[in-house]
Amino acid sequence: MAEFAYEATQTIDRLRRQHVERDSRMRAVHLVRSGHSEMVFKGMFPSDWPKPVVGNFIDVAARDTAEMVGVLPTITAAGDSVLDESKRSRQDKLTRIINYLAYSSRLGANLVIAADRMVTYGFVPLRVEANYENGSPHIHVDDSMNTYYEKDRWGQVVLYARVFYKKASELAALYPEHAARLKKNSGYSEGSDEMLDLVHYYDKDQVMLFVPKREGLILDRYKNQISRIPVAIAKMPTLDGEVRGQFDDVLWVFAAKAYLAMLSLEATQKAVQAPIALPNDIQEFALGPDAVIRSANPEKIRRVPMELPQSAMIENRTLDDELRTGARFPQARQGEMDNSV
């Protein structure tokens, strides 16, 4: 069994090297959407205010698009022979079966998640697994991050692997027969709770769950009885075959808008705290509310004006238009229209 895990590990390493740029884009979008923009745009924001001072436009646009796209359609098994009573009865039965499978898989809620991941990352895998308790197939919406697949020339998935992470203690509780090897950690103290990467691996011959960091320890394995991969990939169209999400090209536009907003906030603070200009006849100056200042030229007592340049306002609007265009999220989606009626 070790040779199967070794070959699968070599395949995973090859796919990771092949999709380095894709994985980097996906991690960047994930960090921005989850509110960790400072980890992507390092050094752009000051340490005392590390977060953007604008709304997370990318997350808002992704959620809105997912809620609009991820609606469960009406599923029927209608055919051409609607006048044949026996065939119509059979089609009605198939329709009830199909809708039960969709209902038991909770596709009504999971399709929104699937649409969110497809818009954000450019593809989403749908995996079918046997539910032996209900005696029916179950459709899973897998995460697109750290997921790799290969297709043949007919568009059929011939290899599928998903990498996810769990703590060693959790895996030891789930698989007590492998607890000794799972907790083994030569680089750390005995009993430390290391985060391990697991690989859920499919090919035409077998299905495996193994841990590459533990010499390819196979936690579970069974033969693929259907000789095909029960996975379908929903993918956004692309010209060069490279998977891209809807927001890959607008991350830095969002960063520029956030940085300009930070500069505007700083300019406003400096304008409020600008130095005060006084005429020559004032020897003492009182600060605070209801302070009294005596001067023969009171009109000359003022703060030094520090106006925000007009070009900053124009640039802010331009960045907002570019962000909406790149994210395919027009103003009409928020009820804003510039056209006169």
What are the pLDDT tens digits along the chain (341 aa)?
567 778 888 999 999 999 999 999 999 999 999 999 989 998 888 888 888 888 899 999 999 999 999 988 888 877 655 566 777 788 888 888 889 999 999 998 999 999 999 999 999 999 999 888 888 899 999 999 999 999 999 989 999 999 999 998 899 899 999 988 888 764 444 445 788 999 999 999 899 999 988 888 899 999 998 889 999 999 999 888 889 999 999 999 999 999 888 888 888 888 877 888 888 888 777 777 777 787 888 878 888 877 777 777 778 888 888 888 888 777 776 666 665 55
279: amino acid identity, one letter: P
- The whole-number pLDDT of residue 191 equals 47
Distance separating alpha carbons of residues 219 and 118, to the nearest angstrom:
30
| DSSP conformation class of 1 | -
- Local structure of 333: helix, strand or coil: helix
Distance separating alpha carbons of residues 15 and 88, to the nearest angstrom:
47
- The whole-number pLDDT of residue 326 equals 83
- 164 φ, ψ (degrees, to nearest 5): -140, 175
Distance separating alpha carbons of residues 242 and 121, to the nearest angstrom:
11
Q: Could you tell me if residue 72 is left (phi over 0), alpha (psi between -120 and 50 degrees) or otherwise beta?
A: beta
- The whole-number pLDDT of residue 141 equals 95
- Local structure of 130: helix, strand or coil: strand
| DSSP conformation class of 214 | G
Distance separating alpha carbons of residues 84 and 168, to the nearest angstrom:
60
Q: CA-CA distances (angstroms) from residue 17 to 149, 218, 289?
A: 13, 23, 65
Task: Give 51's contacts (C-beta < 8 A, 6+ positions apart).
Answer: 35, 37, 38, 45
Beta bridge partners of 330: none
Distance separating alpha carbons of residues 303 and 269, to the nearest angstrom:
13
Do the beta carbons of residue 201 and residue 132 sit within 8 Å? no
Distance of CA 114 to the CA centre of its chain: 11
- The whole-number pLDDT of residue 214 equals 87
- The whole-number pLDDT of residue 187 equals 46
Distance separating alpha carbons of residues 44 and 32, to the nearest angstrom:
14
Distance separating alpha carbons of residues 146 and 126, to the nearest angstrom:
15
Q: CA-CA distances (angstroms) from residue 338 to 127, 229, 304, 330, 332?
A: 44, 50, 37, 11, 9
Q: Is the dihedral of CA 155, 159, 164, 170 positive or negative?
A: positive
